[in-house]
Structure formats: structure tokens, C-alpha cells
Structure 1
């Protein structure tokens, strides 16, 4: 941190920094964890800068992009030949752009989980178009007691091998569509750290749930692939995330892992036992008030992550060491008071470094990322926002 702070001390905050050395080590580690069993499809929403997406996606062990929305995919398909959209789209204008561009249609794969999505596309663009590539989103959640208990993200209605096969059959029989792959994201495993601070009983319960879910999903996912490939071959089978690479890649049906958060190593990824990414992305705020001798107040700071409301979604003060947020104000829109021994001697204009709880959401707040390697800034690159885009 001393090197990063020294390299950027001439900049006026707020600004964002990416430690390129940590970023590159994290990129190598994601591929290492896949152990050659699967490639990494880079989740672009976790990076949100074209330059850094290209820096990671061009490495050995990586293949393709996992985008978030169709407008983002159209943007990225200018530079990348294989872009899968992680979520279904209801953007009619973007669908019309896709259907009118044979090159984009050959590079982009839409996500669907029901016949309704096929109907929506047909209604938006009609039948006079190139075939559109589609991927089936298989629900990866753990359901117990006949579905009365649901553990995992509420995503797709396609859960069983029979449902997946029926959808695959409809796709293959429907003009204007081509079945390319299958995706399933086990958020209850990949997105939940298994070493959270707090109650040992809660940690034990979480780990037990994750073990049960992993076993159930591996068996079900294999059965789904068998059922679908009896109808049509699949180009790829995507699963997992940064938090479950080793586990998911070990399933013989998996060809690729969607991952990206591990490149920046945000705060939510501090609590996994299997791996620990190096913190690589930071934002910096200035001290602008000293309301008491023990409190330093920062300008802004309410860069709170999405998800269930809780302290783990707040940014983490990182440098100087020993700072912490207050319990009453937390990180606010206009100010963020910090406490701790380091706050006692802080002066107006001094810089405080923080880490965002999630990865790519940081880039929605800044136009550029200052890239530091060693003791100096080696480049600055635009975020999506800096290029004039406000993708979801």
C-alpha cells in the first residue's frame, strides 16, 4: 500500500487505482485454480473497463467473455469473437441491432430460460434475420422438501433434466434460433464466502449446505447435459464463479467457468478458505473535516455494493491502517467519518484508501482507472462510464 500511495500522492481525490501487479497475479491464479480442466470465461461486469478486460481475457487459460446485458455485449463484440450474455434481455432496440448485424449475431449468444424468451425475440425482430445463438440458463439452486425450501439465487424456471430437454427440443425445432450452450450459476456456493466472521454455528451450517448443494448439482447437471445432448450437441457448458472454480471445474461436463471478481479481489472475497485474491482495486477519498480530534471525515464515500443490506456491503478503509467506519453513519453520500488511531493525526487533504465490497461496481463511480505497477503510475484507462456508456 505504501508504494501505491506514493505513486499517486500527486493526484487529487476522489480517484480509483488498480494495482496491475496484483491484478496480473490474480488473473494467473484464476486459471491455475481451473487446473486445465476448464477455461475461464471472463465476467466483464466484474471489470467494466475494456482495457483491463482485454488484458485478462488474452491470457492463457481464458476464452470468451461473459457479458451482463445485450448493449454491453454489442459493445464488446467489436473486439471479442465469443460473447455470451449472462442474463436474458428484454431490450428490443438492442435485439434489432443484433438481428441486423450478421457479424454480431455470429459472435453473441443470448441467454434464455423459457419459451417466453424465444417468443419475445421473435416479437421484437421477426423471422427475417440470421439465426440467433442461444444458451439455456439452468437453475442451480438447491431445492429441498419438494421445492418448499429454496437455497440460491432465484434465476431460471428450468431446473430438471426433463425441463431442460424440453426447452432444448423447442429451440432446435424453432426457426431463427441455434442452441449453443448451457449455463448454470451456483451463487449459493460461488458467491458466499465459507469463512465469514461471526458465529461458528452459522459457518458450519453454510459449509454443510454448500457441500450438499455441490453434490446435488453435480449429479443433476450431468443428467441435464446427457438429456440435452441426446437432442443436440453443445459447444460449451458454463458453470461456477470465482468462489467455486476448483469444485466446478472438477465436474466432467463443465468446459468453462464464468469468473471475474477475483481479478480485483474486492472485500466480499476476503472470506473464502480455498483461495484469497490479492486486493487490486481501490478508491481514494480526501479528508475534508475534523469534527473532533478522534474523527476524520472523508468527502463522499457511500459507494455501497448491491445485495442484501448489511455491513459487508460497505467499503472497507484500507490505508492508513487501523481506520474503521462509524456505526451510526457508515459510508454516506456526502461524507464518511472514520475512526481509529490513524484518524487522530490526520490533516485536511490527506488521502484515505478504501476497497469496494464488490468488483465492477466501483467503475460506475469513476471515469478512469489509474494503473500502478511497482512504484509508479504506468497508464490510465477509461471505465465504461469514461467511454460514455452507462450499461446496467
Structure 2
């Protein structure tokens, strides 16, 4: 990718004959990001988080780059079954499901392909019971107390949040109730008693570290507080996670211990107990990753919208643009107008569903039909807005590939 200062001219020339709106991925930047993720993973396999990419050809491209990328972490069971049907093996589903029809399909797939079928996430006896119920209905399971070491593969979601004041203050994502090694062991024993499920892995996601930027502009004090919290949190989690894995391993052998995200790969990779790490967003490097001090990825995913109106001398209006990212509603969840530089939102309208006004000196030089290039605040959510991605490499468009949406797939 060209230096940041002339990237707008670079992309403008490449896409001079491409009518916006469109989305694209700069494979040169993505490849550089991929190699940096592997460096930070310190030799441990990197499982790709598909929810951050949402385009099969991109996932396949990354898996083919280097043997350090191994496996996929899906965000729904429906997606995992689809990927498995297309040849992916051992897909890990990051979140539990209550869909007994899909769980029944998983039980059938597991009977056909015991080792290659997807692995489903659990954190409650309720999840195990749902698997047992679905397995009985599908004719692949018999009960709950005759464990045989076969059945649907499961992974235990172990809480990575940081507790203060005896748990009265909890910093991190509200995910799993399994916080202590004793709770983890109890969950493992419940799976061990099942004839329809088997525990093969443990996963943790440290949202307060991996998903929280510590270099937010104009917030030096808050950034120092965040770094202090993250350091204390990781030191506490490192010890607690090791004890939990030890407790589970006394009950059943584990195939993997997964942890991390783009924001904390080097931290979790340093833990002896962790056997693999997960990353995805760092490949596209959306705008929220500009707020981290430990790494500096290259922006690799963009979308372009056409100027369709000029309401004033320093104001243009582009078509669409209301692609606001998930999370707490704030300005940092809005797409970032990247090129040409010098554009900003109108505070009274923001990024709109059908039109987005942009103001600033750069607007003076834009004409009706000119493209404005944006970066999404997050990663994979961009692909829910476009059917295809233009792939750019060495200054040329080398391919156009479908997103999940372009393949007619919407998993959430």
C-alpha cells in the first residue's frame, strides 16, 4: 500500500473506472497485517475469526498465506455447518446456540465426521442438555450419564473479565458465568457424564484488553488508566486461566486452549497454557484499531460512496453511508471519511441511511460523481452492506469476490 499521505490518489487511480458504491480490500496491506499477526503470535497457530472477514475467498486467502494460520472461529453454528459442508474442518463456534434443529444437524455431521465436524461453545449445563436433546431427536445420542468419549465436540467458554472488590465490579464482556477453576471443573464433569457431548477445548476472550484501545486521541489520563487496568487484568487472568486448564485436564484431555483477539495477541501467546490464538479484525484493520499502542496495522478494507449533491461550497452529500458499527452508540462507531482528507460529518445529521452530508475544505474540490473513500469502524460488519469485494494488489484490481451476503448468507 502507498504511504498514508498519497493513498487517496493511489486508490482514486486504481478505481477511476469503477462506479461507486463499492467495497474493496487492499491485499498488499492485508498481507502485511497477516504477517504482523503471526509475528505477534510468537509461533502459536492463529485461528481466523470469520465474523471479522465475512468473505470466504478472503478467509481462504489468509489460510493459504502461511501455515501459521490454522482453523476458523465462526460466529454462528449455521455458518460453521455451511463452512464444514464446503470443506472446512474443526470450525470452532464462538458463541453458544439454542437452535435444536441446528444442533441436531451438528450431531449428524459429527456421527459422519467425528474429528472434522464443528466444535460448539458451551458455558452452562443447559447447553449440554440442549445438545443431548437434539442428539436424541436425530438418533445419534442415547442419554446423559454413559459418557463414551464420543459425541458432539464442545468448547468451554471461560470468563476472562477482571473482577474487583470481590466481584462487585466486573470489567470486560458479559459472556460466560464460568469464572473460577472450580466452576470450570464442574462444567467439565457435566460434559464428561454425557453420552452426546465431549469437551475438547477451552476458550477465553479478554474484551477489556483485546477490545479496548489504549491510545485514544486527547485522552492521555484515561489511556494510562486503561493500560494499568489491562496489565493487572492480564496478570490475574494468566494465573487463573492456567489453574482452570489444569483442573479441567485432570478430568478430560483437551485438544486446544484458545485465547485472545487482535488487540492482545502477544500477551496471550506468552502464556504456556494457551495453545492457539484468534485474530480477524487486525487483517482488515478498521478505524477502531487506530487507538492501540502495541501495534499499528495498515488499513486494508474500505468502501467508496459517490457524491450525489453539493448543498453548499464546502458541503457535499454522498449516497448512503449509515454503516454504523455495533457497540455503545458513540461517534467512534461511525465510518471514518478517509480520502480525500479533510472531510467530516455534519453534527446534525451524521452518517445517514440514504444520504450522508460531509463538510470541510476538501468538499470544495469534489464534483457530483466523485468517490469518497471510507473506513468502517469495525471489520466484518462492512460486508453486510456489500455483495462483493474488489481485491486490489500491486496497483491493480485482481479479482472481485462475493461476501457472505453476496452468497446469499446472513447468519445474524
Q: Same fold (TM over 0.5)?
A: yes
Give the deviation of 1:193 after TM superposition: 0.9
Question: Secondary structure of 1:248's match?
Answer: helix
Q: Which moved more, 1:161-170 or 1:339-348?
A: 339-348
Aligned with 2:174: secondary structure? coil
Give the root-mean-square deviation of aligned CA atoms.
1.2
Q: Which residue pairs with 1:55 in the alignment?
A: 61
Match of 1:122 in 2: 132
Hey, what's the Cα distance between the residues in 1 that align with 2:68 and 2:34? 10
Partners of 1:3 and 1:377 in 2: CA distance: 12
Q: 1:96 aligns with which of 98, 104, 123?
A: 104
Deviation at 1:198, TM superposition (A): 2.8
Contact 2:131–2:196 (CA<8 Å) still a contact in 1?
A: no
Alpha-carbon distance between aligned partners in 1 of 2:100 and 2:245, rounded to the nearest angstrom: 31
- Tell me the distance in 2 between the aligned counterparts of 1:92 and 1:325: 45
CA distance in 2, matches of 1:240, 1:176: 29
Q: Tell me what 2:25 maps to.
A: 18
Write the distance in 1 (CA, Å) between the matches of 2:153 and 2:237: 25
Cα contact 1:74–1:104 (8 A) shared by 2: no
Question: For structure 1, which segment, 315-324 or 115-124, has the greater mean C-alpha deviation from structure 2 after superposition?
Answer: 115-124
The answer to whether the 8 A contact 1:99-1:105 is kept is no
Aligned counterparts of 1:60 and 1:317: Cα–Cα separation in 2: 35
Q: CA deviation at 1:62?
A: 1.1
Alignment correspondent of 1:347:
367
1:9 corresponding residue in structure 2: 16
Tell me by how many angstroms 1:7 deviates.
1.4
Q: 2:89 aligns with which of 65, 78, 81?
A: 81
SS of equivalent to 2:365: coil
Q: How far did 1:200 drift?
A: 1.8
C-alpha distance after superposition, 1:190-213 (max 9, x if no partner): 001111123222111111111110
Give, in whole Å, the separation in 1 of the partners of 2:47 and 2:236: 24
Q: What TM-score, normalized by structure 1, do the two folds share? A: 0.97
Could you tell me which residue of structure 1 aligns to residue 79 of structure 2?
A: 72
Measured against aligned partners, the alpha-carbon deviations of 1:10-67 in whole angstroms (never above 9, x if no partner) come to 111110010011111111111111111x210000000000000011123221111100
List runs of 5+ in structure 2 lacking aligned partners. 1-6, 141-149
| Unpaired stretches in structure 1, ≥5 consecutive residues | none
Q: In the superposition, relative to structure 1, how do residues 351 and 138 fare at CA in structure 2: closer, same or farther (>3 Å)?
A: same
In the TM superposition, residue 284 of structure 1 has moved relative to its aligned partner by 0.4
The residue that corresponds to 2:34 in the other structure is 27
Are residues 1:376 and 2:386 paired? no
Query: What's the CA shift for 1:100?
Result: 2.1
The range that moved more, 236-245 or 72-81, is 72-81
Partners of 1:23 and 1:345 in 2: CA distance? 30
Q: Do the aligned partners of 2:132 and 2:197 also contact (CA within 8 Å) in 1?
A: no
1:198 aligns with 2:206: no
SS state of the match for residue 203, structure 2? strand
Instruction: Using structure 2 for the length normalisation, give the TM-score.
Output: 0.93
Aligned 1:177-256 pairs, distance under 5 A: 177-256=197-276
